[in-house]
A and B are shown apart, each in its own frame.
Chain A
């Protein structure tokens, strides 16, 4: 668990970077800090591993004030991923991944076993391990960067716009990877982004920030359904807000058992947005819903999507 209490931080500028910020992040959450650039979200993230010390307030990790732990020791227990990967250019990919185990003086056999596990987990091509960062593509570099953050198996991982500089394909792949790792491992991930689609795809909890202040925190759906103010509403996408909401609801929720002979097929776990997209593309008013094995479960109708109650 991570808890920030009334935290403030000012740099040289007149306006504080973060002011009176309080937030509680439960263990196992995929928590996304979102807001426009310069809103202080990265500062909040960097205060969690003591890279930036707050002027006021208190930060606790696992119930302990971070000022009571030696910063190096604290940071070795918290994974960290930044936008440009920040790999060491003079180390091979394998050495980069094992940076923290080396700091923790793991035995070579333990390190080798962990490396093998990470390579499998993140589906890294073993041929890349001997290469230097400049010989890797941006996506490959960030995959190594994520592996480095996971190397010593920390409970908490901080990610500062990790996928913002990647091409859409690599970004999508890595989002899937990290989402899967979170689901399987139950690690706490604190993730900074300014990309609302990314946030909605990954988050189990979310905090919207502006001008160094926390505007609204909660589950993504509750924020989408009840934006606290105009800023949040605009930031969530203004007009497109309704479409974003469709992204959060699976087809299963609005499915009906009817058998009117709808033709196109959609998976039960797909989002309503995918369903709507498919209806528009195939010019159908209804779709047939199937489970993973392809067995027919029921139908979904355009009228039900339009009339669904959570939208209001």
Chain B
């Protein structure tokens, strides 16, 4: 019995095999509303299906490979094969089905596709981590996959998939909604910092106030997001009625203003708590020694406390940013726009692929934010 050296790969392989055999790869429906027929991977074009299966079995075999560096490289190659096989397989399969079906027919991606794609991505992430690749190497690996995907998209490989069609139908407003989304997030973080920094100073200075501040922010955090967005409509519209100046700034009961306010309120607790923890954890004796050899309070803050607290501050900002990116989707409900627009339209029209047009970029944005903050964190921790 050969020894298993990578349990993660074996688990991913087993998951992939199970879903490929029991789950549909592509769903074909005569129109958006009708129930479709699920086709398994075995009926997809042979070359692509074979590539995906070869890659998947490769992962299974690689879990027995002993040499770590070699295993990492081979895993990335096998995962690339799976990705290509499932992407091209789905695209070409959809094109075949569409040619035969009515014009309103829809080919949407099934569980087997999503599982294969996730298995491939998880395998790559795991391989990169285990292989101890340097940061530039990681960047190159990530970058190598993007042109591949865009080349396939440019070649029209995905044109028959309903996800691509939904995207294509909304291409005009997609970029503006994406920017809207980013604007909401950035504005909320900016306001959260403007309120959060003085609050942090307050709780650091007056320990008595800390309990009250954290309790109030904690209560805010427990309000369900949809409820908070809704609750803000009434007071905000009243405010804009009373104060023409605010109305002039475009502030009203619905739209971006209450959305930014809600996102700001949600950001406050993790932000203030992260900042508070960061500054509290700077060792007392270091601050003491600094003061005792003649650092004034300003120098002490800039040269000692700030650099030592920086990793915790960045971690706090990371949590807040990722949370805001996700929550901003809900803002579409009160007319604030953003990627949530597609999600709620999709739910309303029972067009799940339209939901994905909103959801996938939200996930990618969150991953990108995470990646950027990881990088900053690495820089801040360099000498600690």
Contact = CB atoms under 8 A, between A and B. Distances in A.
A84 B285 contact: yes
Interface stretch (A54-62, A70-78, A207-215, A219-227): A70-78
Contacts of A80: 289, 292-293
Contacts of B304: 88
Contacts, number: 60
Interface in B257-306: 283, 285-286, 288-296, 299, 304
A107 B366 CA distance: 48
Interface of B: 283, 285-286, 288-296, 299, 304, 307-308, 383-384
A103 interface: yes
A79 B293 CA distance: 7
A241 interface: no
A99 interface: yes
Given A82-B288, A88-B304, A103-B293, 8 more contacts: A72-B294, A72-B296, A86-B286, A86-B288, A86-B290, A88-B286, A90-B383, A158-B292
Interface residues of A, number: 26
B293 A148 contact: yes
Nearest to B381: A90
A93 to B, nearest CB: 12
Which residue, of A51, A83, A90, A99, has the highest number of chain B Cβ atoms within 10 A? A90
A168 interface: no
* B interface: dominant SS: helix
A132 B304 CA distance: 14
Interface in A122-150: 132, 148-149
A234 to B, nearest CB: 31
* A interface: dominant SS: mixed
A7 interface: no
Contacts of B296: 72
Contact of A73 (B285, B286, B294, B383): B294
Interface string A19-45: 000000000000000000000000000
A100 interface: yes
Contacts of A76: 293-294
Nearest to A73: B294
Contacts of A103: 293-295, 299
A94 interface: no
Closest 6 A/B residue pairs (Cβ): A86-B289, A76-B294, A75-B294, A80-B292, A86-B285, A72-B294
B289 A82 contact: yes
A49 interface: yes
27 contacts: A51-B291, A72-B294, A72-B295, A72-B296, A73-B294, A74-B294, A75-B292, A79-B293, A80-B293, A86-B285, A86-B290, A87-B286, A87-B289, A88-B286, A88-B289, A88-B290, A88-B304, A89-B308, A89-B384, A90-B307, A90-B308, A90-B384, A99-B290, A99-B293, A100-B293, A103-B294, A149-B293
